[in-house]
Protein backbone atom coordinates (compact mmCIF):
# COMPACT_ATOMS: atom_id res chain seq x y z
CA UNK A 1 0.00 0.00 0.00
CA UNK A 2 2.86 2.34 0.83
CA UNK A 3 4.49 1.64 -2.52
CA UNK A 4 1.19 2.38 -4.27
CA UNK A 5 0.88 5.74 -2.52
CA UNK A 6 4.50 6.57 -3.37
CA UNK A 7 3.97 5.71 -7.04
CA UNK A 8 0.77 7.76 -7.11
CA UNK A 9 2.58 10.72 -5.56
CA UNK A 10 5.39 10.48 -8.09
CA UNK A 11 2.87 10.30 -10.96
CA UNK A 12 1.07 13.39 -9.69
CA UNK A 13 4.29 15.30 -9.37
CA UNK A 14 5.47 14.31 -12.84
CA UNK A 15 2.09 14.83 -14.50
CA UNK A 16 0.51 12.97 -17.37
CA UNK A 17 2.17 12.83 -20.81
CA UNK A 18 -0.56 15.12 -22.14
CA UNK A 19 0.10 17.68 -19.40
CA UNK A 20 3.83 17.52 -20.09
CA UNK A 21 3.24 18.03 -23.83
CA UNK A 22 0.94 20.98 -23.17
CA UNK A 23 3.47 22.49 -20.79
CA UNK A 24 6.22 22.19 -23.40
CA UNK A 25 4.05 23.86 -26.06
CA UNK A 26 3.06 26.67 -23.69
CA UNK A 27 6.67 27.27 -22.64
CA UNK A 28 7.67 27.44 -26.30
CA UNK A 29 4.87 29.94 -26.93
CA UNK A 30 6.01 32.02 -23.96
CA UNK A 31 9.55 32.06 -25.29
CA UNK A 32 8.42 33.18 -28.74
CA UNK A 33 6.17 35.85 -27.25
CA UNK A 34 8.93 37.25 -25.06
CA UNK A 35 11.32 37.20 -28.01
CA UNK A 36 8.78 39.14 -30.08
CA UNK A 37 8.46 41.78 -27.35
CA UNK A 38 12.22 42.07 -26.98
CA UNK A 39 12.71 42.33 -30.76
CA UNK A 40 10.19 45.16 -30.93
CA UNK A 41 11.85 47.06 -28.10
CA UNK A 42 15.38 46.89 -29.51
CA UNK A 43 14.31 47.62 -33.09
CA UNK A 44 15.18 50.97 -34.67
CA UNK A 45 11.72 52.56 -34.24
CA UNK A 46 11.92 51.84 -30.49
CA UNK A 47 15.29 51.93 -28.71
CA UNK A 48 17.23 51.90 -31.97
CA UNK A 49 19.73 49.24 -30.91
CA UNK A 50 19.13 46.92 -33.89
CA UNK A 51 17.62 47.09 -37.33
CA UNK A 52 17.65 49.74 -40.02
CA UNK A 53 13.97 50.07 -40.96
CA UNK A 54 12.06 53.24 -40.18
CA UNK A 55 8.58 52.87 -38.67
CA UNK A 56 5.82 52.70 -41.26
CA UNK A 57 2.03 52.71 -41.26
CA UNK A 58 -0.48 52.10 -44.02
CA UNK A 59 -3.46 54.43 -44.24
CA UNK A 60 -6.09 55.57 -46.70
CA UNK A 61 -5.50 58.88 -48.41
CA UNK A 62 -7.85 61.77 -47.74
CA UNK A 63 -7.89 62.98 -51.36
CA UNK A 64 -8.58 61.30 -54.71
CA UNK A 65 -5.55 59.96 -56.56
CA UNK A 66 -5.25 60.89 -60.23
CA UNK A 67 -3.51 58.33 -62.43
CA UNK A 68 -3.53 60.57 -65.48
CA UNK A 69 -3.10 58.80 -68.80
CA UNK A 70 -2.18 55.54 -67.09
CA UNK A 71 -5.81 54.36 -67.16
CA UNK A 72 -6.92 56.23 -70.27
CA UNK A 73 -8.84 54.13 -72.78
CA UNK A 74 -9.23 54.09 -76.55
CA UNK A 75 -11.56 52.32 -78.90
CA UNK A 76 -10.03 49.98 -81.47
CA UNK A 77 -11.06 49.64 -85.08
CA UNK A 78 -13.09 46.61 -84.02
CA UNK A 79 -15.07 48.76 -81.62
CA UNK A 80 -13.45 47.28 -78.48
CA UNK A 81 -12.43 49.59 -75.65
CA UNK A 82 -8.94 48.88 -74.33
CA UNK A 83 -6.32 50.54 -72.14
CA UNK A 84 -4.39 53.02 -74.24
CA UNK A 85 -1.00 52.32 -72.67
CA UNK A 86 -1.05 48.53 -72.69
CA UNK A 87 -3.83 47.53 -75.08
CA UNK A 88 -5.29 45.31 -72.37
CA UNK A 89 -8.92 45.36 -71.15
CA UNK A 90 -9.52 48.54 -69.15
CA UNK A 91 -9.89 48.71 -65.38
CA UNK A 92 -11.03 51.31 -62.90
CA UNK A 93 -9.40 51.95 -59.54
CA UNK A 94 -11.79 53.13 -56.86
CA UNK A 95 -11.42 54.31 -53.31
CA UNK A 96 -9.96 53.68 -50.85
CA UNK A 97 -6.40 54.19 -52.00
CA UNK A 98 -3.91 53.10 -49.32
CA UNK A 99 -0.48 54.68 -49.04
CA UNK A 100 2.50 53.74 -46.91
CA UNK A 101 3.80 56.50 -44.65
CA UNK A 102 7.43 56.17 -43.54
CA UNK A 103 8.62 58.20 -40.55
CA UNK A 104 12.27 58.90 -41.23
CA UNK A 105 12.71 61.01 -38.08
CA UNK A 106 10.19 59.61 -35.58
CA UNK A 107 9.49 61.66 -32.47
CA UNK A 108 9.37 60.22 -28.98
CA UNK A 109 5.56 60.01 -28.93
CA UNK A 110 5.53 58.35 -32.35
CA UNK A 111 7.99 55.77 -31.08
CA UNK A 112 5.82 55.09 -28.03
CA UNK A 113 2.72 54.64 -30.18
CA UNK A 114 4.60 52.31 -32.52
CA UNK A 115 6.00 50.19 -29.67
CA UNK A 116 2.63 49.87 -27.91
CA UNK A 117 0.95 49.01 -31.20
CA UNK A 118 3.51 46.39 -32.18
CA UNK A 119 4.02 44.79 -28.77
CA UNK A 120 0.59 44.89 -27.10
CA UNK A 121 -0.61 41.76 -28.87
CA UNK A 122 2.47 39.81 -27.80
CA UNK A 123 2.10 41.06 -24.21
CA UNK A 124 -1.50 39.82 -24.10
CA UNK A 125 -0.49 36.47 -25.58
CA UNK A 126 2.29 36.06 -23.02
CA UNK A 127 -0.12 36.87 -20.19
CA UNK A 128 -2.69 34.40 -21.46
CA UNK A 129 -0.11 31.66 -21.96
CA UNK A 130 1.28 32.23 -18.45
CA UNK A 131 -2.14 31.83 -16.85
CA UNK A 132 -2.82 28.72 -18.93
CA UNK A 133 0.60 27.29 -18.05
CA UNK A 134 -0.15 27.83 -14.34
CA UNK A 135 -3.37 25.82 -14.70
CA UNK A 136 -1.61 23.01 -16.57
CA UNK A 137 1.20 22.87 -14.02
CA UNK A 138 -1.32 22.53 -11.20
CA UNK A 139 -2.11 19.04 -12.51
CA UNK A 140 1.43 17.96 -11.59
CA UNK A 141 1.04 18.70 -7.90
CA UNK A 142 -2.56 17.68 -7.28
CA UNK A 143 -6.14 18.33 -8.27
CA UNK A 144 -6.52 21.17 -10.83
CA UNK A 145 -10.11 21.82 -9.73
CA UNK A 146 -9.20 24.29 -7.00
CA UNK A 147 -10.11 27.90 -6.26
CA UNK A 148 -6.70 29.13 -7.39
CA UNK A 149 -7.41 27.92 -10.91
CA UNK A 150 -10.87 29.50 -10.80
CA UNK A 151 -9.19 32.85 -10.14
CA UNK A 152 -6.79 32.22 -13.02
CA UNK A 153 -9.68 31.53 -15.38
CA UNK A 154 -11.45 34.75 -14.35
CA UNK A 155 -8.22 36.66 -14.95
CA UNK A 156 -7.87 34.98 -18.34
CA UNK A 157 -11.44 35.99 -19.23
CA UNK A 158 -10.69 39.61 -18.29
CA UNK A 159 -7.42 39.51 -20.22
CA UNK A 160 -9.07 38.19 -23.38
CA UNK A 161 -12.05 40.55 -23.29
CA UNK A 162 -10.62 43.81 -21.95
CA UNK A 163 -7.13 43.33 -23.34
CA UNK A 164 -8.46 42.19 -26.70
CA UNK A 165 -10.71 45.23 -27.08
CA UNK A 166 -7.85 47.51 -26.01
CA UNK A 167 -5.61 45.88 -28.62
CA UNK A 168 -8.21 46.44 -31.35
CA UNK A 169 -8.54 50.10 -30.29
CA UNK A 170 -4.79 50.63 -30.44
CA UNK A 171 -4.50 48.81 -33.78
CA UNK A 172 -7.43 50.78 -35.18
CA UNK A 173 -6.04 54.17 -34.24
CA UNK A 174 -2.23 53.80 -34.24
CA UNK A 175 -1.81 54.87 -37.87
CA UNK A 176 -3.95 57.97 -37.37
CA UNK A 177 -2.17 58.91 -34.14
CA UNK A 178 1.23 58.68 -35.79
CA UNK A 179 0.24 60.50 -38.99
CA UNK A 180 -1.47 63.31 -37.11
CA UNK A 181 1.86 63.97 -35.38
CA UNK A 182 3.72 64.38 -38.67
CA UNK A 183 3.92 66.62 -41.72
CA UNK A 184 1.42 64.34 -43.47
CA UNK A 185 -1.41 65.14 -41.04
CA UNK A 186 -3.61 66.53 -43.82
CA UNK A 187 -3.00 63.63 -46.21
CA UNK A 188 -4.94 60.93 -44.34
CA UNK A 189 -8.37 61.09 -42.69
CA UNK A 190 -8.79 60.47 -38.99
CA UNK A 191 -9.86 56.85 -38.56
CA UNK A 192 -10.75 54.80 -35.53
CA UNK A 193 -11.96 51.20 -35.44
CA UNK A 194 -12.80 48.76 -32.68
CA UNK A 195 -13.63 45.06 -32.69
CA UNK A 196 -15.94 43.34 -30.24
CA UNK A 197 -14.98 39.74 -31.03
CA UNK A 198 -12.59 39.66 -28.01
CA UNK A 199 -15.61 40.37 -25.78
CA UNK A 200 -17.32 37.28 -27.15
CA UNK A 201 -14.21 35.14 -26.65
CA UNK A 202 -13.78 36.54 -23.14
CA UNK A 203 -17.41 35.68 -22.41
CA UNK A 204 -16.75 32.07 -23.42
CA UNK A 205 -13.79 31.89 -21.02
CA UNK A 206 -15.91 33.57 -18.31
CA UNK A 207 -18.62 30.91 -18.74
CA UNK A 208 -15.94 28.22 -18.37
CA UNK A 209 -14.65 29.95 -15.25
CA UNK A 210 -18.17 30.12 -13.82
CA UNK A 211 -18.81 26.43 -14.45
CA UNK A 212 -15.40 25.59 -12.96
CA UNK A 213 -16.20 27.66 -9.88
CA UNK A 214 -19.60 25.98 -9.40
CA UNK A 215 -17.96 22.56 -9.66
CA UNK A 216 -15.31 23.48 -7.08
CA UNK A 217 -17.92 24.85 -4.66
CA UNK A 218 -20.13 21.76 -5.04
CA UNK A 219 -17.20 19.45 -4.38
CA UNK A 220 -16.16 21.48 -1.32
CA UNK A 221 -19.74 21.26 0.00
CA UNK A 222 -19.79 17.50 -0.46
CA UNK A 223 -16.40 17.17 1.21
CA UNK A 224 -17.66 19.29 4.11
CA UNK A 225 -20.68 17.02 4.62
CA UNK A 226 -18.52 13.91 4.61
Number of domains composing the chain: 2
Instruction: Say yes or no: 166 and 214 in one domain.
Output: yes
Whether residue 34 is contained in a domain is answered as: yes
User: CA 212 to CA 151: how far, in whole Å?
Assistant: 10
Whether residue 11 is contained in a domain is answered as: no
Whether residue 72 is contained in a domain is answered as: yes
Instruction: Say yes or no: 51 and 69 in one domain.
Output: no
User: CA 49 to CA 73: how far, in whole Å?
Assistant: 51
Does the pTM exceed 0.85?
no
User: CA 179 to CA 114: how far, in whole Å?
Assistant: 11
Instruction: Say yes or no: 85 and 177 in one domain.
Output: no
Task: Give the pLDDT mean for 48-69.
Answer: 85
Q: Is the separation of the CB atoms in 74 and 82 below 8 Å?
A: yes
Instruction: Say yes or no: 202 and 140 in one domain.
Output: yes
220 vs 101: which has the higher pLDDT: 101
Instruction: Say yes or no: 154 and 214 in one domain.
Output: yes
User: CA 215 to CA 223: how far, in whole Å?
Assistant: 12
Collect contacts of 175-180 with beta carbons under 8 A, ≥24 apart: 175/57, 175/58, 175/59, 175/101, 176/59, 177/113, 178/55, 178/57, 178/101, 178/103, 178/110, 178/113, 178/114, 179/57, 179/59, 179/101
Instruction: Say yes or no: 147 and 203 in one domain.
Output: yes
Provide the pLDDT for residue 11: 47
Instruction: Say yes or no: 195 and 139 in one domain.
Output: yes
Among 78-82, 117-121, 134-138, 178-182, the range scoring the smallest mean pLDDT is 78-82
Provide the pLDDT for residue 15: 62
- Summarised one tens digit per residue, pLDDT across range 119-172 is 999 999 999 999 999 999 988 777 788 889 999 999 999 999 999 999 999 999
- Summarised one tens digit per residue, pLDDT across range 33-43 is 999 999 999 99
Instruction: Say yes or no: 214 and 174 in one domain.
Output: yes
Whether residue 181 is contained in a domain is answered as: yes
Instruction: Say yes or no: 131 and 147 in one domain.
Output: yes
> Taking 90 as the threshold, does the pLDDT of residue 71 lie above it?
no
Amino acid sequence: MTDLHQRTGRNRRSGSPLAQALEAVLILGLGLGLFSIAATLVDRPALGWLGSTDPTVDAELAFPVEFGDRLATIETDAGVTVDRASGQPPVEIGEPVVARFTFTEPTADQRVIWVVWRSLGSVLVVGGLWLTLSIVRSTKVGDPFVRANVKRLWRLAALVSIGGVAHSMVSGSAATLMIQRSAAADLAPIQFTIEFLPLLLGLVVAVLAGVWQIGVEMRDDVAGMV
